[in-house]
Amino acid sequence: MSGIATTGPSRNRWLTAAAWRSLFRDRPMIPLLALLLVLVIVSDIVRPGVVGTEWVGIMLRAAVPLAILAACQTLTMLTGGIDLSVGAVASMAGFVVISLVLSIGLPAAIVVALICALIAGLVNGIGVGVFKVHPLIMTLGMSLVVLGAANFWQIQTVQTSSGVPPAIRTLGSDVFAEVLPYSLIVFIPLAIVILVGLRRTGYGRLLYAVGDNPVAARLSGARSWQVLVVLYIISALLAAIAGFLYAGYTNVASVSLVDSAVLPSVAAAVIGGTSIMGGRGGFGGTIVGVLILTVISSLLTSLGYPEAVRQVLFGAIIVAVAAAYTRVTDQT
Amino acid sequence: MSATAAPVGAVRARPADALASWLRRNSWMLGLVVLLAALLVFTKFIQPRYGVTGVQGLAISVLPLALAAVAQAIVVMSGGIDLSIGSIMALVNVVGAVLMANQSEQFGVVAVLACLVLGLVLGAINGSLIVFTRVPDIVVTLAMSFVWAGCALLVIATPGGGSAKWLMELVSGSFGSEWVPKAAVALILVVAVVWLPVRRTRFGLSLYAIGSNRLAAFRSGVAVGRTRILAYMLMGFFAALAGLSVTASTGIGTPVPGPYTLMSVAAVVLGGVSLAGGRGGVFGPIVAVVILQIIRTDMTFLSIDSNLATVFQGVILIGVVMIGSLIQIRRGRA
């Protein structure tokens, strides 16, 4: 920092800039929540009276599955990775449950779907952790494999597939007491486990350690390959759970259902202050990031913009926010 | 950098050693060519009627992906990666199709030139964002892939538009002998005219330099930022050519990106370009694209489900990358 050069008249301005920097760096939640509040107010101005309990319910219902996918990105990004296979894995899990529910029942179908996801996650983890393949390539390749396999399965079961089972539909799309979607039953425990797990458990701290400085982590005895294998399994299981909720939310069985949510999930984690280079961030910011994206998305829809504009804007937001974070956290 | 140092060594060494070192340096490429030959023989074996039409179909279906792989290879050699190639192709594809729809053949030339300039601009935007914001290239290009795909949808919401006739004739049919498809000639010509001279320039050398060691390149006086942006511009140029080749082979514009981004990464890795940067060329990826396409054709001949073919391609991608990094780990230990 060229702090000496900016003393004198501009000292005051430098102080506030530094204060802003440290605010963004140390407490990213405060500006994020402020942004969320602004967006909610704008929503209310655009369509007066729309913001109410029902609106909150709709927002939460849309945000919950995305937040679970964003958890996958947050956890993998903490280690300097990324999981782009979540879309394929989630779609596959939702589809497997729907295609099997008539023949073997809901619990067994869910177990089968989770096992499929676990296998995908295990292979991802072995590729990234043991073979040191770049996570991006590994998970992109895995998404090809999972998508192809799911498509193949779809052709095999095209006659027997039924609608989305009612239990899943209720979980994904119904709201009780007008405000709280049933999906919170799944999400709140998961969120607590992730939040507490990252802060308080050894495994959580290992994720930060591996991402922040892999060499230091190895020298202090962390077996990073084990950490990574477990991490990608967790990520795939979370994606599968998100897939169940998406299937219930949209009431659709499709092997490419969740594909369009992959970029928003990365965007949410980036906006929430998790660095893709690893070692910095957390799930709290990601949840706020998801809420911000959900509100922006509904705002654009209510303004009548097509899906294309939303895509452009999401992409631009990611670059802008990532650039802002890079700027404030760069010490050099 | 070894590419420039090796000829000096080769002159001094005895012929046998020179041959051995040449083989060692190009072992990956030779392996690919052998694999390609084996696959062709295998194809002829399972489908005796595979001949002229097969080769022509192969050349046309390979062209867009081969150009995309060249584009990706250039960025990867400079130590970067671009996940928006498929979207850039889609955008150029629809812009070209919309410009050329119901227009004269002469205007088609203007439209093609405009598309190539568009490609350069899109690449420059990607590169500048990466250099000036200092956000990792993966994040920037992943985000930009959605921006460009969204722009393509804004240009035209459903497949449509048209193509100039001369552009379509440029890639279909054969040239001279019927065994020489025009698409293959176009591909070789474009690469020979654009990439080979560029590689010999100062910029070409800088490209490999920043890919193999950015800090060392910076300390030797390479303008790292400018070289990176130029690399992305060249990527945009080849991606635009790839997008135009889609327009030429389909005759319309489709605003949805194909699987080109992922396949270009696969081809680059299979083609012997290190994802860490600084190594490889563009011919390996082109051969890799042909191999991937032949595998797909063979699976059709063997009446294997096309979805399983997708699985197989994913497995090949993962397998190749795993073996590649395993070799690197071994080398690091030795």
Q: Do B146 and A309 touch (CB under 8 A)?
A: no
Measured distance between the N- and C-terminal CA atoms of chain B, rounded to whole angstroms: 21
Looking at residue B1, what is its pLDDT? Answer: 42
Backbone angles phi, psi at A52, to 5 degrees: -160, -170
The residues, any chain, with a CB within 8 Å of residue B252's CB and separated by 6 or more, are B97, B159, B160, B161, B162, B163
Mean of pLDDT values over B217-222? 88
Pick the closest to residue B47 from B290, B291, B299 (CA basis): B299
Measured CA to CA, the distance from residue A240 to residue A108 in angstroms comes to 14
Measured CA to CA, the distance from residue B268 to residue B324 in angstroms comes to 12
Residue B8, pLDDT above cutoff 60: no
* Average pLDDT value over all residues in chain B: 84
Looking at residue B259, what is its pLDDT? Answer: 79
Q: What is the CATH number of domain A31-329?
A: 1.10.3470
pLDDT band at B13 (very low <50, low <70, confident <90, very high): low
Distance from CA of A105 to the nearest CA of B (A): 27
Mean of pLDDT values over B99-105? 83
Looking at residue A332, what is its pLDDT? Answer: 40
How many CB pairs below 8 A link A and B? 143
Residue, of B253 and A16, whose pLDDT is higher? B253
Residue B10, pLDDT above cutoff 50: no
Residue position matching structure tokens 């420039």: B4
From first to last of its 332 residues, what are the pLDDT tens digits of chain A?
444 444 444 455 556 667 777 766 677 788 889 889 998 898 888 888 777 888 888 888 889 999 999 999 999 999 988 998 999 999 999 988 888 888 888 889 899 999 999 999 999 999 998 888 888 888 988 988 998 888 888 887 765 556 777 777 777 777 777 777 888 888 999 999 999 999 888 898 989 988 888 888 888 888 888 999 999 999 999 999 999 999 888 887 788 888 888 888 988 998 888 888 888 888 999 999 999 999 988 888 888 888 888 889 888 988 888 888 877 776 44
Mean of pLDDT values over B45-51? 79
pLDDT band at B12 (very low <50, low <70, confident <90, very high): low
Q: Which residue of A has its CA nearest to B157?
A: A308
Is ipTM strictly over 0.85?
Answer: no
Residue B309 near chain A (CB below 8 Å): yes
Residue B4 near chain A (CB below 8 Å): no
Segments making up each domain of chain B, as ranges: 50-261
Enter the DSSP assignment of A10. T
Q: Which of A74-88, B274-288, B295-309: highest mean pLDDT?
A: A74-88
Q: Do B326 and A131 touch (CB under 8 A)?
A: yes
What burial letters (b/e) apply to B164-192, b meaning 16+ CB within 10 Å?
beebbebbeebeeeeeebbbbbbbeebbe
Q: Do A323 and B134 touch (CB under 8 A)?
A: yes
Measured CA to CA, the distance from residue A293 to residue A39 in angstroms comes to 10
Measured CA to CA, the distance from residue A252 to residue A186 in angstroms comes to 20
Q: In this structure, what token pair is assigned to residue B260?
A: 């080109």
What one-letter code names the amino acid at B26?
N
SS3 B28: helix
Looking at residue B2, what is its pLDDT? Answer: 43
In the beta sheet, which residues pair with residue B175?
B177
Looking at residue A158, what is its pLDDT? Answer: 64
Residue, of B60 and B1, whose pLDDT is higher? B60
Measured CA to CA, the distance from residue A291 to residue A60 in angstroms comes to 8
pLDDT band at B101 (very low <50, low <70, confident <90, very high): confident
Q: In this structure, what token pair is assigned to residue A315?
A: 């992409």
Q: Which residue of A has its CA nearest to B308?
A: A148
Looking at residue A331, what is its pLDDT? Answer: 45
Pick the closest to residue B56 from B215, B173, B194 (CA basis): B173
